[in-house]
Amino acid sequence: MKSMIQNKIVQGIQSVNIEKEICGSCLLGKQARYIFTQGTAYRATKILELVHRDLFGPIKPSTMAGNRCVFVLIDDFSRYMLTVLLKEKSEDLKKFKKLKSLAE
């Protein structure tokens, strides 16, 4: 703005004293994020040694079958991912036990 006014690029604007200010929003917008580490301290060395899970929901709209929650299992070694739809979150333990016995 200052250079546009000084170089008379814009017409109809009076000369204004513009002071350089640093606002908090500008500082936050220019911050660099921290780098995420690529590895973890422990990695599985065989299948089903370490299994990660995620359970979320209720989702809207529910599925045609009335399922409202999603249960995700990921094997750390193979990265095989299994997604199961549930009607309620309380079904997760029963479903996990069934999937565990099938996998073993």
CATH of the domain at 58: 3.30.420.10
**Verdict on whether the full-model pTM lies above 0.75:** no
Contact call for residues 98 and 92 (beta carbons, < 8 A): no
CA distance 54 to 104: 20
Residue 84 domain flag: yes
Residue 65 domain flag: yes
Domain that holds residue 76: 51-103
Residue 8 domain flag: no
Residue 61 domain flag: yes
14-49 pLDDT, tens digit per residue, is 776 767 777 777 777 777 777 777 766 788 899 889
Q: Which of residues 4 and 62 earns the better pLDDT score? A: 62
What pLDDT does residue 2 have? 72
> 100 is written with which tokens?
């565990």
Sheet with 51-56, strands from edge to edge, namely 51-56, 69-75, 81-86
Percent of the chain with pLDDT over 70: 91
Residue 3 domain flag: no
> 17 is written with which tokens?
């004293």
Query: How many independent structural domains does the chain possess?
Result: 1
The residues facing 56 across adjacent strands are: 70
Residue 32 domain flag: no
Q: Which of residues 42 and 52 earns the better pLDDT score? A: 52
CA distance 7 to 18: 15
